[in-house]
Amino acid sequence: MKSIISPMQNAMPSPTFLWRFKVTLFLIWGLICCKISWDSVMRMDANLRDLFLYEAFLYYNPLLLVTMMVWLWGVNLWVFLQSTVSYTKVFDLDQNHLTHKEIWKCSTWMTIIVPTSMTAYLYLYSHGEVSLAASQPVLLYIIVAVVLIFPFDIFYLSSRYFFLRTLLRIAFPLQPITFPDFFVADILTSMAKVFSDLERSVCRMVNRQVATIAWLEADSVCGSHSVAIPMVLVLPYIWRLLQCLRQYRDTKEKNCLFNALKYSTAVPVIFLSALKYHVLHEKWSTLYRPLWLLSSVINSLYSFYWDITRDWDLSGFSRIFKFNKSSVVSNMFYGRQWIYFWVIGTNFILRCSWTYKLSAHLRHNYLTVFAITLLEMWRRFQWVFFRVENEWNKISRSGVQLTEIPREEEKLLGSNIHDV
């Protein structure tokens, strides 16, 4: 038997060869999509090209950003795996949780499906098949929704339902707040643009405005001046604020109130910006614009301060860069001084630039907004490393005996109390 199996094993391609083959196919597919998309855009009337690209961007931008975040989350898990940080204990994950490889597998399929749908949309529209083109984003959104709620034990059922239950707990913080609850809620604040674009996209789909210019009127139900835009933008911050209030009710910890105040400072930034389209220009310039600028500065500085001193526990900048082992929170990056300068500096800059994205009256340059949103996701990607390790350090210092990891179905039913 051994002499029979060995030749068969030798005939199998090596894992390295298979990986390179898959990457090659992936790149070829990407080039084909880029070529078809470019040719399709060039076929369009130059006068309508920008409007059409803006509409296509609106439908596919949210899913592209989510795909980017999934890729980065896989990188986070891979780095934690190389370090002493047990993210499974921090999140109370089941031992069958998704690994970084499975996360990357999901993001790879997302990277294939979303651009393919967008390429089909551009191609069909440019060749006069407007109805078929309009069906592409609608079909994609339906597929995503079905995959998330699919009740059968495929496509990582327990992980999907864990995620959906977490979202439900975030929207309705009626139970004690767990670390996964407010961790995911924090990430959602960085994806406020995704929520806003999803609302605009679904609005146009429901009102049958896909692949049309019916939405071009700014004051229409799905136009760019709709009051729904700031209402959706503010949702992640309201959810996080309510979590902090719930946490204060459970623990009576005053830091929860200060944290709630931080999230409340985002509310005037969003709504003062939206007022530009609903008040006279003179009143906007003399009253509301200065108030918007002031609220933006307060929100950016307060959020930056909280990131450094609370979420990361990097209090006392002079102590951080001495690299005394007892005073540096991060064991992952211990001794790499440039990382601290980089993370703190970029966090400050990107905290300030993120205000641009939260402001409805600055959203017309969609490429700029897209770039800033990507940078905010990169900032959140960096934030995750220090936030999770800080929580792990708290667990380690507490001396609490770490018991067997509960199953995912049980973990959200507990009343684990964490410092928000």
The rounded mean pLDDT for the chain is: 84
Looking at the domain assignment, is residue 380 inside a domain? no
> What is the DSSP track for 299-365?
HHHHHHHHIIIIIS----HHHHTTT-GGG---STTTT-HHHHHHHHHHHHHHHHHHHHHH-GGG-S-
* Inside any domain, residue 30: yes
**231-273 pLDDT per residue, tens:** 999 999 999 999 999 999 999 999 999 999 999 999 999 999 8
Q: Over pLDDT 90: what percentage of the chain? A: 49
In a domain, 64, yes or no: yes
Output the pLDDT for position 400: 56
Q: How many domains does the chain have?
A: 1
CA distance 188 to 234: 11
Interval 90-124: pLDDT, tens: 988 877 789 999 999 999 999 999 999 999 999 99
Residue 45 lies in a domain: yes
pLDDT for residue 148 is more than 80: yes
According to the model, what pLDDT value does residue 355 have? Answer: 67
Q: What's the confidence (pLDDT) of residue 306?
A: 93
Output the CA–CA distances (angstroms, integers) from residue 377 to 65, 180, 370, in the order listed: 8, 18, 11
Q: Which of 108-117, 224-233, 377-386 has the lowest mean pLDDT?
A: 224-233
Asked whether residue 290 is domain-assigned, the answer is: no
pTM (predicted TM-score): 0.86
Choose between 27 and 405: higher pLDDT: 27
Does 4 reside within a domain?
no
5 in any annotated domain: no
* Range(s) of the domain holding residue 64: 14-82+99-129
Model confidence pLDDT, tens digit, residues 190-223: 999 899 999 989 998 998 888 776 656 655 678 7
pLDDT confidence tier of residue 408, bands split at 50, 70 and 90: very low
Neighbour-count burial for 135-154, b at 16+ CB within 10 Å, e otherwise: bbbbebbeebeeeeeeeeee
Considering 278-287, 335-344, 397-406, the range whose residues carry the highest mean pLDDT is 278-287
Residue 418 lies in a domain: no
Residues 6+ apart with CB under 8 A from 373: 65, 193, 194, 357
Two tokens at 310? 């609370």
